[in-house]
Homo-oligomer: A and B are copies of this chain.
Amino acid sequence: MELITIRELYRNKEQYIGKTVKVGGWVRSIRDSKAFGFIVLHDGTYFETLQIVYHDKMDNFAEISKLNVGSAIIIEGELVATPNAQQPFEIQAAAIEIEGASTAEYPLQKKRHSLEFLRTINHLRPRTNTFQAVFRVRSMIAYAIHKYFQDRDFVYVHTPIITGSDAEGAGEMFRVTTLDMDKLPMTKEGQVDFSEDFFGKETNLTVSGQLNGETYAMAFRNIYTFGPTFRAENSNTTRHAAEFWMIEPEIAFADLQDDMALAEGMIKFIIRYVLENAPEEMKFFNSFVDKGLLERLEHVMNAEFGHVTYTEAIEILEKNNDKFEYKVKWGSDLQTEHERYLTEEIFKKPVFVTDYPKDIKAFYMKLNEDNKTVAAMDLLVPGIGEIIGGSQREDNYEKLVARMKEMGLKEEDYDFYLDLRKYGSARHAGFGLGFERCVMYLTGMGNIRDVIPFPRTVNNCEL
């Protein structure tokens, strides 16, 4: 007889009640009296557990009653409706097989463990309620993102992880090498000879797929990337990891307005998808992790996002400078406190801030006609601050070259990028969504280490 999942039992219970079913899973708790016992079983396919009732008519009654928490078992028995109990049904076991026992030393005993402790057992923590919920929702968000773009005929592009370009901020990049560190090859000039390295030159881990993504947008019109990116930042915060995933759509024949519409649609789509497909998990987060979560997400899903220019935003913020640690004026970069004030206190909903001063933004952003600001946008959401950053790209060859010169970038490092402006340039725009920040936003989890299966941070690369 085939094993059935607990998810399937809940999904189509009418089909199974009164029938014999076979279920495999892990013991969450067990208690017995003289003649019978109860097992709470979890099989990893569904957030809710399944109650098993077993009797001393079973040959191995005593053995079963001695099982430790965490044991893997397979149960065959009748699924019985329990209209007066908390759960809609239970299994009256006819037979229980022990698949793999556990021990009294199993670290996940039936009690509440701190997130800090659970971080020390990354390989076991997905068996707890919190991480069952986090990582199933993480998986669903990833799929929702793919679905959003694929439903709209976007092409998914795998931009490279190893890159030979050190143009985007080499200080914060990880080097990739196969050179023998104990005997590095040297040039005649006494420098490390990277022509001996695997790729014949210096290489790093990518910090963004955007420039590569643009080359594909100019071929497929609408594309997105979804892959890992890396920052070797020596910062030990709850919001930074050295390895994280990014989504970077890029759309051609499109301007900043189109870009914002795409981002707004995506955020709403993801929220709707997760609320529909993981209601139990989301209820759990709302009860135990972040009390206002569901209300906030429903509000975001139904609100029309706000729009404000950076210049207008600064006017608003300057009037409230007494409330901020960092005082703002035109030209300042916005800090999280300012971002949250705008979205939480002023707009009370997600808001796009647009048209930032060119001096605090990247070289590739399209210069506005005022020659002072660029067609950039950040999306700020309540509870987080910035969740998305994007821009229309400079599509004019001369303006782009001038901007690169101003910023001290070498043209020859960007030949391929300039080619896009030589051969059929078209207005285009895109944005970046930090995947983990998105997972934190939808689950209410406060530490990035708790939304990544095996997090990598300074001095931490376990398993």
What residues make up the interface of A, taking CB atoms closer than 8 Å to B? 3, 5, 7, 24-27, 43-45, 70-72, 74, 99-103, 106, 122-124, 126-127, 131-132, 135-136, 138-140, 142-143, 146, 150, 153, 155-165, 174-179, 181-182, 184, 191-192, 198-201, 203, 205, 212, 215-216, 218-222, 227-228, 230, 232, 234, 242-243, 245, 252-253, 395, 416-417, 419-427, 452-454, 456, 458-463
Do residues B5 and A221 form an inter-chain contact, with CB atoms below 8 A? Answer: yes
Q: How far is the CA of A424 from the CA of B138 in the complex (A)?
A: 25
- Smallest CB-CB separation from A460: which chain B residue? B199
A140 proximity list for chain B (CB < 8 A): 150
Q: How far is the CA of A217 from the CA of B7 in the complex (A)?
A: 16
A25 proximity list for chain B (CB < 8 A): 221
- Smallest CB-CB separation from A176: which chain B residue? B174
Do residues A424 and B216 form an inter-chain contact, with CB atoms below 8 A? Answer: no
Do residues A162 and B456 form an inter-chain contact, with CB atoms below 8 A? Answer: yes
A420 proximity list for chain B (CB < 8 A): 123
User: Which of B45, B127, B212 touches A222 (beta carbons < 8 Å)?
Assistant: B45
Q: How far is the CA of A192 from the CA of B155 in the complex (A)?
A: 44
Do residues A215 and B126 form an inter-chain contact, with CB atoms below 8 A? Answer: yes
A456 proximity list for chain B (CB < 8 A): 160, 162, 199
- Smallest CB-CB separation from A11: which chain B residue? B153
A228 proximity list for chain B (CB < 8 A): 158, 161, 227-228
Do residues A453 and B423 form an inter-chain contact, with CB atoms below 8 A? Answer: no
Do residues B174 and A162 form an inter-chain contact, with CB atoms below 8 A? Answer: yes
Q: A184-B184, A212-B454 are in contact. List 4 more A-B contacts (CB 8 A).
A: A126-B216, A142-B156, A143-B146, A198-B232
Do residues A106 and B184 form an inter-chain contact, with CB atoms below 8 A? Answer: no
User: Which of B72, B153, B161, B234 touches A161 (beta carbons < 8 Å)?
Assistant: B161
Q: Most chain-B Cβ atoms within 10 A of its Cβ — which of A3, A136, A454?
A: A454
A138 proximity list for chain B (CB < 8 A): 156, 158
